[in-house]
Structure 1
Amino acid sequence: MTGGTNVSSIKKVIVVGSGIAALSFAKTISDNCQVIMMTKNKLTSSNSVLAQGGIAAAFSARDSIEQHVYDTLIAGCDHNDNRTVREMLQLGKELVYQLIEEGCPFDCDDWGRPHLGKEGAHVTERILHAGGDQTGQILVQFLKSQLGSHIQLYEHHHVIDLMVQDQTCRGVVYKDQNGQVHTMTADAVVLSTGGCGDLYETNTNDSSVTGDGLMMAYRAGAQLVDLEFVQFHPTLLTIGGKAMGLISEAVRGEGAYLEDETGRRIMTGVHPLEDLAPRDIVSRVMFHEQQLGHSIFLNIKNVPHFSTRFPSISARCHQAGIDVENNRLPVSPGMHFLMGGIKVNVHGETNVESLFAIGEAACTGLHGANRLASNSLLEGLVLGYNAAQRVNLMEKQHEVSPSLPLQEVWAVPRLSESKLRRWMTTDAAIVRDDKGLQTLLKQLESVSIQFINVKDITKRQIELSNRWSLAICMTKSALKRTESRGGHYRKDYPNRDDAFWRGKQIVHEKGCMQVIKNERIGANWNVYS
């Protein structure tokens, strides 16, 4: 912190989460800001750390920003915000170059240039990796090493709600590592809490990713959009119906392909890019084949030096008792990424003053209806950087002294996490229809409720309440979009309807709840529109 700075003029910012977007924000924010970074588990409990795939940037002489934009729009099925795509991919390339200049250890070729890989729906090589298949983990470590003393990290601090006054976010309500409830005011709050992978039985997400940030923002009056667009990653290592971990799309980029138990290549003739088709297409083909009774394998015989190129995947296979020398890895699709989220602009600003959202929790319009592989880490870098630049320009808020509503109660469904995951996986996953979605909505809305005081509620109950509320919003979105586009496929409406649906978002809005007023009844009661 610079000497001579007036303490009363220092802005205080609370960042909820600890992934790439949060760390990019913390790296960029002025040292005249005091930043409190809270995460409900460990700093390393994030989807970013689990990211095996790389980060996309148009560095090749055969590539261009225009081509990267084109591939992103094609994958997004004409649901992207074109201007946002162009701006974010251009800035993203600059930020990746900056990381290289700063010494981030990306994998390089024999001439010291970043090695560029290829993944699904990219027409050329543009994926930078680190540690082979440990890009996210290495990026997190590198960004964390660059944080200044004005960044304070609080692990096992569970932010459970936002404090809002006059449609302005004033701070957060959180539980510390001992379960005690506290409030903390701030000039800005930044949500970087990820998506909602834990809503599904088979997923690639960290177990902490339960939709908390989305529902906190919703209760505060922020808009949620595009919740029907859920991306399933085609290749999760799966044994006996249980997912053992992700197998990066980069493996197919290096020459692996999908086949059934007979050796028949299942993507041949389905799409011009075959095994490197967009993820929504590959996942639906796999789902169809599995419905017919086939087992699906990833054949890696064409991948040179597999164990060296993909060390963490090889280690995971070994732990699962699979010999990679046999060249066949059993795979199945699993929930991977939520394209929708909290509606924000390119600076991460929501419609609630002083409330920002970045990373997967946010929806900028970059991904459209289906995210292009390796654009997520790039988006995290860009949105974290942009939000920090905007906060740097903000005026310090007037001091407020909101008090915690001690009689605040939460509505918690009498429902197990496993049952909720089973319902969502059955009726709101890769293939949907009206009958299944209506059944799901009826099940969700008919669950009995128990009311629990905020002082007594457990972390598990908070997460369950958020999951349940978000599941209702997602189901209603899927029912409203009567077409198929990207990650949203309805067998009763199997075609795209550009005449009506192109570019249209389904928005969930909730009037701003004054959490600092004692008359509030129920943090999660009747929160869905």
Structure 2
Amino acid sequence: MNVESTDVLIIGSGIAGLMTAECLRSHKNVTIVTKSSFRSSNSYLAQGGIAAVTETEDHWAEHFMDTVTAGSFHNEETLSEILVKEGTEMIRQLEEWNVPFDRNKDGSLTLGREGGHRRSRIIHAGGDRTGSRIIDTLYKRIAGHVTMKEYEIAGDLIIKQGRCAGAWTKNSEGEITIYFASTIILACGGAAGLYSVHSNDRSISGDSIALAYRAGAVLSDLEFIQFHPTMLFKKGVSYGLVSEAVRGEGGRLVTSEGAPVMSGVHELGDLAPRDVVSRTIFGFIQKGEDIFLDVSKVKNFTNRFPSITSQCKKADVVLKEGKIPVAPGAHFTMGGTVTNQWGETTVPCLYAVGEASRTGVHGANRLASNSLLEGVVFAKRTASRILESKDHEVSIYPVEWGFPTQKQKKLPEKIEIQRQMTQYAGIVRTGKDLDKALRWFRRFSIDKPDYYSTPDEIERMNMLQTGWLIISSAQMRTESRGGHYRSDYPTKNDNDWLKKQIYRKKDWNEQAEAEKTAAGIFA
């Protein structure tokens, strides 16, 4: 067993974790622990871009309105405003760091449009490789300045005297390390990997939620799971995400007979919010229909979307025929560990950033390309709060060898956990189905990991813990909203709330401009 100390311990290596490390590295000793390689994250896989207001014709109030509309008006207003206002500055920062964003011939940023956006404000890099381009840039900046520990899974957080004091990990060789730190940051993603068909990296299994729960942190909105409408899905096998940007460039959802899927469903058609499109496709599939993304009218598809083109080759999809078989898959977790605008959780010295956190900016359904934006905006804010806070000395506590209190019951295989989540807590839910899932999860004793647990056992324990929490949350919310759809309860409509509440601004001029925008959309 090894014992190490550091100023800041970051668990996870996605965009939020790396951005936080970049902002702290000149002032603190930073250690990053990640369960796989640093490239194994949802951020690295992100095909879609990063949404932000960068043109004078656009306005933060419009981006804000698109965000809360997609979020079914469940968003935290103050934090959502911070997200869209500070997003512009963060794009400039990434440009200064030489992230290779796509540009037009005149040097201006190339802007795309995705679901839920009423303007083109999506910035890409390398076509559909935005996430990897940003991650590689951030990694180069922190390399040599930050300690990176790969292939180590966090077993549990260490809570001493009412605050988080560190964490213990186990690596792929079975070695245990105890990390003590003055600041601990959860940045290990969400929980969409708990479903059979998903867009997430293989390493994503709800670890952040389980770790925070066992540490006593407040969690919220776990029932809101976003299902992306277009996973490349052929003969029961998922080959990865087909970016929403394809529909933004003219791709259309059709049946095998060529009938438009989204006709008459939503005013934005194929670019409707993701929950709407996913449920519509799901309805067709339940009736035995195959759904395709018609890309025949997308110009320069192979050059514009190289990653998707590669996926199509693996799936033996002939792009010349112009149709990609698709189906919805779990994509993003709106809920998580509750944080304020500075990344602080309810447990002292414990922070959370990115998809591991519940800032409330996504409401009940995330707006396309707001996830990378959240990662950079609130990572910078979290780092600034840590630098402003009174330094805590790193306390080294006596290490106790933990013995199991009881023999762990046999854990279910990951595929069985995924099957239960997909069947009973998927795109469409009912109280009866959720009850069935809860009874299944209660068959297992969900103990916390101990030093004897293998990395695989730790992951499965986390999956059980997080799955139970998601299903319990879904059972308690007796309404349909955003990514949580209960067929046994009606959908609420809060447009009046939006009109009355979201444009309360301190500055009269900003308020007038926002109200003018709202008047145009809600006329």
Scaled by the length of structure 1, the TM-score of the pair is 0.90
Match of 1:368 in 2: 363
Structure 2 contact 343–381 (Cα < 8 Å) conserved: yes
Structure 1 gaps, min length 5: 1-9, 503-529
- Specify the SS of the correspondent of 1:213: helix
Tell me the secondary structure at the aligned position of residue 467 of structure 1: helix
Residues 1:282 and 2:257 aligned together: no
Offset from partner CA, 1:271-324 (integer Å, 9 cap, x none): 000100000000000000011110000000110010011011111101211111
Give the 5 Å matches for 1:3-402. 12-147=7-142, 149-402=144-397
- Cα deviation for residue 176 of structure 1 reads 2.9
Q: Are the aligned partners of 1:231 and 1:339 in contact in 2 as well (CA < 8 Å)?
A: yes
Instruction: Rate the CA distance shift 1:452–1:247 in 2: closer, same or farther, 3 A.
Output: closer
Instruction: Give the CA deviation at 1:197.
Output: 1.7
Residue 434 of structure 2 is matched in structure 1 by: 437
- 2:454 aligns with 458
Query: In 2 relative to 1, CA 494–184 (structure 1 residues): closer, same or farther, beyond 3 Å?
Result: same
* C-alpha RMSD of matched pairs (Å): 1.8
Q: Give 3-state SS (helix, strand or coil) of 2:482's partner.
A: coil
Residue 415 of structure 2 aligns with which residue? 418
Residue aligning to 1:515: none
TM-aligned CA deviation for residue 184 of structure 1: 1.3
Q: Which moved more, 1:397-406 or 1:210-219?
A: 397-406
Q: Secondary structure at the match of 1:146?
A: helix
Q: CA deviation at 1:450?
A: 8.8
Aligned to 1:511: none
- CA shift at 1:95, angstroms? 0.8
Kindly tell me: are residues 153 and 414 of structure 1, through their superposed partners in 2, closer, same or farther at Cα, counting changes over 3 Å? closer
Q: Against the structure 1 CA distance between its residues 450 and 252, is the aligned structure 2 distance closer, same or farther, given a 3 Å change threshold?
A: closer
Residue 401 of structure 1 and its aligned partner are, at CA, apart by 2.4
CA distance in 2, matches of 1:149, 1:356: 24
Q: Which amino acid in the other structure matches residue 355 of structure 2?
A: E
**Offset from partner CA, 1:43-98 (integer Å, 9 cap, x none):** 11100010000000111232110100000010001100111111121112101112
The one-letter code of the counterpart of 1:209 is I
Cα pair 1:180 1:455 within 8 Å, conserved = no
SS in 2 for 1:365: coil
**1:182 Cα deviation from its structure 2 partner:** 2.1
Tell me, yes or no, if the aligned pair for 2:190 and 2:205 is still in contact at 8 Å: yes
Does the alignment pair 1:496 with 2:500?
no
Compared CA separation, residues 445 and 486, structure 1 to 2 (3 A): same
Shift of 1:498: 5.9
CA–CA separation in structure 2 for the residues paired with 1:190 and 1:274: 40
**Deviation string for 1:182-235 (max 9, x for gaps)?**
211111001100001221000000011111111111111111100000000000
For 2:380 and 2:48, the matched residues in 1 are separated by 21
Mapped partners of 1:30, 1:23: distance in 2: 10
For 2:151 and 2:411, the matched residues in 1 are separated by 26
Residue 476 (structure 1) aligns with: 472
Taking structure 2 as the reference length, the TM-score comes to 0.91
User: Contact conserved, 1:195 with 1:341, CA < 8 A, in 2?
Assistant: yes
Question: Identity, % of aligned pairs?
Answer: 41
Distance 1:133 1:450 in 2: 39
Does the aligned pair in 1 maintain the 2:11–2:186 contact within 8 Å?
A: yes
Deviation at 1:30, TM superposition (A): 4.8
For structure 2, the 5+ residue unaligned runs are 499-523
Shift of the 408–356 alpha-carbon distance from structure 1 to 2, 3 Å rule, reads: farther
Deviations 1:350-387 (A, max 9, x none): 01111000010100010000000000000000111111
Task: Give the letter for the 2:411 counterpart.
Answer: R
SS at match of 1:158: strand
CA distance in 1: counterparts of 2:446 and 2:74, whole angstroms: 39
**Number of matched residues?**
491
- State how far apart, in whole Å, the 1-side matches of 2:303 and 2:87 are: 29
